Chain A
Amino acid sequence: MTLLPAQIVLTLFVFVMLLSSAAGMVYAERKVAAFIQQRLGPYLVGPRGLLQPLADIVKLMFKEELRPAAADPLLFALAPILSATAAFAAFAVVPFGAQTTVFGLLDEPLRLQVADVPVAVLVVFAISSMSVYGIVLAGWSSNSKYSLLGGLRSSAQMISYELSYGLALASVLLVANSLSLTAIVDRQAGTWLGVLPRWFVFVQPVGFLVYLIAGVAETNRAPFDFPEAEQELVAGYHTEYSSMNFAMFFLAEYINMVTVSAVATDLFLGGWHGPLLPASLGWVWFLIKVAAILFVYIWMRWTLPRYRYDQLMRFGWKMLLPTAVLNLIVTAAGVLYFEL
Chain B
Amino acid sequence: MPSLDDYLILSAILFAIGAAGVFVRRNVITILLSIEIMLNAVNLTFVSVGRSQGSFDGQIIVFFVMTVAAAEAAVGLAIVIGLFRHRESLDPESFTSLKW
Q: Is there direct touching of A and B in the complex, by C-beta distance under 8 Å?
A: no
Name A residues whose Cβ lies closer than 8 Å to a Cβ of B. none
